[in-house]
Structure 1
């Protein structure tokens, strides 16, 4: 195991533990978005193909302008799974291999809290509840 993989394993365990402590619903599958980025669009495209072959849904590549004015391309490798550190470690291993092969950067993963008190994107919000009273 590489030092990078070990660091991601620790991240996986800590993040899953934090979600669990916050009360996320462990019975539900969570949508996991693994992030990959590269300055070379062609390399990123090849990585996306390999991520797809490895069983991930792949989002369209996006171009981001960095604070220093540079450009980077990125995409998400998406999978829906229950929170299980061993499964996450296996997924990270697969994506680290893809990243290494194509010289792209694996930038971790994110998910959304799942629970009875989770905010749904479909919920109707009253802007005054979040923006404060402007009067």
Structure 2
């Protein structure tokens, strides 16, 4: 089974994340910086995935080397897009990125964003 075959789980994650942000008071109509993540223990494969993500219109960050608790090493990078909290847009990005991940045999590790609202600074200070 490919990662693309499991896209329905990511679609569900997209909806749950949108719902949680809105429920917490984040702005529904704001444009969000979405940070997708890919990782691989092979730098060359990861680099090729980054090039394809860039060609697909995404901004990509430089790869970082991360040391795991078990002593292993993995390389990772972020794929950045500015998006509204629209399920269709997020699902389309997931489709593109899962295909890239499968093509280069790298791991798509999900996405995250930041709360946007009048109380964003207050919430950050409480943590």
Taking the aligned partners of 1:35 and 1:70, their CA distance within structure 2 comes to 18
- The equivalent of 1:24 in structure 2 is 26
- The equivalent of 1:96 in structure 2 is 98
Specify the SS of the correspondent of 1:119.
helix
Taking the aligned partners of 1:38 and 1:54, their CA distance within structure 2 comes to 20
Residue by residue over 1:75-108, the C-alpha shift from the partner in whole angstroms, topping out at 9 and shown as x without a partner, is 0000011101111000000000000000000000
Gaps of 5+ in 2: none
Taking the aligned partners of 2:6 and 2:22, their CA distance within structure 1 comes to 24
Distance 1:3 1:98, change over 3 A: closer
Specify the SS of the correspondent of 2:30.
coil
Q: Which has the higher contact order (CA 8 A, sep 6+)?
A: 2
- The equivalent of 2:45 in structure 1 is 43
TM-score, normalised relative to structure 1: 0.86
The structural deviation recorded for 1:26 is 1.7
For the pair shown, which has the larger CA radius of gyration, 1 or 2?
A: 1
Residue by residue over 1:50-72, the C-alpha shift from the partner in whole angstroms, topping out at 9 and shown as x without a partner, is 00011110001000001101000
TM-score, normalised relative to structure 2: 0.91
- The equivalent of 1:55 in structure 2 is 57
- The equivalent of 2:73 in structure 1 is 71
Structure 1 residue ranges, 4+ long, deviating more than 2 angstroms after superposition: none
The structural deviation recorded for 1:119 is 1.9
Taking the aligned partners of 1:3 and 1:79, their CA distance within structure 2 comes to 23
The structural deviation recorded for 1:46 is 0.3
- The equivalent of 1:6 in structure 2 is 8
Q: How many residues align?
A: 124
